Amino acid sequence: MTAHVCAGRQQRPAGVGSRLPLAQLQHVILVTGATGFIGRHLVAALRSHDRPTRCLVRSEERARSLEQLGCTLARGDIGDPKSLRAACAGANVVVHLVAIIRGKPGDYEHVMSEGTRSLIEAAADARVRRFILVSALGVSESTRELTPYYRAKWYEEKALKASGLEHVIFRPSFVFGRDGGVLPIFLRLVRYSPLTPVLGPGTQRLQPIAVGDVASHLARAVDLEAARNHTFDLAGPDRVSWNELYELMARLLGKRRRRVHIPFRLARVQAALFERLPGFPFTRDQLKMLAAGDNVGDLETTSQVFGLSLMPLEEQVRQAVSGG
């Protein structure tokens, strides 16, 4: 991954020939996973308020849009502790977004558990003021052994809390937006397929949140004293079942669609055969998390601390429909 500071389009990374004033360098925000779905929106939110932003990226070619926003790029990788130390040098805040949703158990261990531990150590050595971690809704003591993904996220949370660093942890639900995530996939399915396949009975509830709302909370957490050393659920204002979500998408698309429910038992067999093929829509681990029950959060504390408005689910889907 690579890091540059979003504070001037011609500036170079701090610690690598940057000529930023010392006072400004001390307020640099390092974002990992900045080229991803959430990362792009977070960086845009930070730069809209002229926050000096450095982005850890593996490929500078993929990060040209970040440079155009005024970010500096730090070339490196979450699996390379040396590059993490260089990226953290002079940073005031770290926002850690890097994660994977597919792979072997060892991949989750390497990228998420070990990578996050190395980043925490680099941040501590650099005397970073605050470390913001994006975990996942559903992660808990009781679910940590359900899948390698949950296990890695639980480890990340525990490692950060034990580090002594000032921190904020977010556990987001499904993140919706027109330009990434799972919502465009769902919409294409409803738009073009005469039958809508639904995994399981479709009665499990979810609480999708708009990607812009996620970015707003992350950006606010950079300085908010009331968020210090707390963990927050991050979800939208509406709880719906999967059946209700597909009904909403069909209505806003102007389509009449019948749903076909695929029993989890049959879906697991399909995933066992095809999950490693590019483009296959789900894995056995994802099925486990879906079958575990509702994916909803408690927003009372989040709302009290951050006081930010949330986009209703229907508007999230409407915007994606109009953009697609």
Q: Residue 227: its pLDDT value, please?
A: 98
- Residue 87's contacts (CB-CB under 8 Å, 6 or more residues apart) are 1, 3, 13, 30, 54, 56, 74, 76, 122
Please work out, in degrees rounded to the nearest 5, the angle formed at the alpha carbon of residue 235 by the alpha carbons of 233 and 238.
Answer: 135
CA distance 167 to 151: 20
Contact 116, 156 (CB under 8 A): yes
State both tokens at 206.
Answer: 């979810």
Nearest to 260, CA basis, from 208, 206, 313, 190: 190
Domain architecture of the chain: domains with CATH: 2-172 (3.40.50.720), 176-209+236-296+311-324 (3.90.25.10)
CA–chain centroid gap for 225, Å, is 22
CA–chain centroid gap for 147, Å, is 18
State both tokens at 20.
Answer: 């930023």
Q: Residue 11: its pLDDT value, please?
A: 36
Residue pLDDT tens, the chain, 324 long = 444 344 333 333 333 333 344 344 448 999 999 999 999 999 999 999 999 999 999 988 889 999 999 999 999 999 999 999 999 999 999 999 999 999 999 999 999 999 999 999 999 999 999 999 999 999 999 999 999 999 999 999 999 999 999 999 999 999 999 999 999 999 999 999 999 999 999 999 999 999 999 999 999 999 999 999 999 999 999 999 999 999 999 999 999 999 999 999 999 999 999 998 887 889 999 999 999 999 999 999 999 999 999 999 999 999 999 975
